[in-house]
Structure 1
Amino acid sequence: MGTEPMIVRVPDWEKRLNEVVERHIDLPSQFGVSDCWIIPADAFEAITGEKLYRGIRYKTEAGAARQLRKRGFETVEDAFRARLPEIGRLSARRGDLGVIERDGAISGGVVTNIGFVTRGEGSVLILPITEIKTAFRVGD
């Protein structure tokens, strides 16, 4: 059995999640500021009040990859899977994390009331839930 504490959603998680999404819509696409790791990590913290992983900081795509590898992960999907239970992708609900695969690259995001929110090349992408490759439950 794992020793990870149970993940619980804070009472005002929906308001906090909406604030994260609104903030990222206004931010530039930039590694370490608003990207396919930072958006779901910020969402996780808003929903649970705790960090998904501590001390992940980078400014480039190579730096992001180094931070993942340093923790034993190749992709954000691996990092999510190590911390969260995998669920059926179409069972994902608001606040759950997920990944999509586009052009061979894995991108993380979060399920919201407007769709799956992730970061594209130049802006936030809001995609249908059906585009999620793998989903992970956040809290109960």
Structure 2
Amino acid sequence: MTRVTGWEKALVSVIERHAAMPFAWGKSDCGMLAADCVEAVLGEDLFGRYRGYSTELGAARKLKKGGFSTVEDVFSSAFEEVAPSLAQRGDVGVIERDGKIGAGVITSFGFACRGETSVRYEPITAVKRAFKVR
């Protein structure tokens, strides 16, 4: 699978859309932000089977049904791991906050991830693991 023509603009559009939305499980949470970014980059929804939940418990159930514990597990099964310092714009990754794994995407501004009120940017050094989206 390769990146689609125009993925750069599509990625920016997805991040801007999520930044304008309130946090909502299954609509604009860390997993949906990352999944939507992957779709923008590759032109295909690889994580569609994990959509359709509306609570944190529902998200955990979707992951468990797929055989995973966290979004980190999902990414490691779908993509090649790369050192966070070598990750490129459009690659996905995870951070750990308050003992929980959160997903996001590498951008030219840092690591974009979902915060409680909007998309927030963390330094690349905060990324626990990164994965090539190709």
SS in 1 for 2:48: coil
Query: Is 1:37 aligned with 2:24?
Result: no
Q: Give TM-score, length-normalised by structure 1.
A: 0.92
Query: Is 1:91 aligned with 2:98?
Result: no
2:11 is aligned to 17
How far apart are residue 33 of structure 1 and its match? 1.1
* Correspondent of 1:72 among 67, 71, 93: 67
CA–CA separation in structure 1 for the residues paired with 2:116 and 2:122: 14
2:105 is aligned to 110
CA–CA separation in structure 1 for the residues paired with 2:110 and 2:45: 23
Gapped regions of structure 2 (runs ≥ 5): none
SS in 2 for 1:34: coil
Aligned residues: 133
Coordinate RMSD, CA, aligned: 0.8
SS in 1 for 2:30: coil
The answer to which structure has the higher helix fraction is 2
**Identity level (%):** 51
What stretches of structure 1 move > 2 A for 4+ residues in a row? none
Gapped regions of structure 1 (runs ≥ 5): 1-6
Q: Give TM-score, length-normalised by structure 2.
A: 0.96
What is the one-letter code of the residue matched to 1:131? A
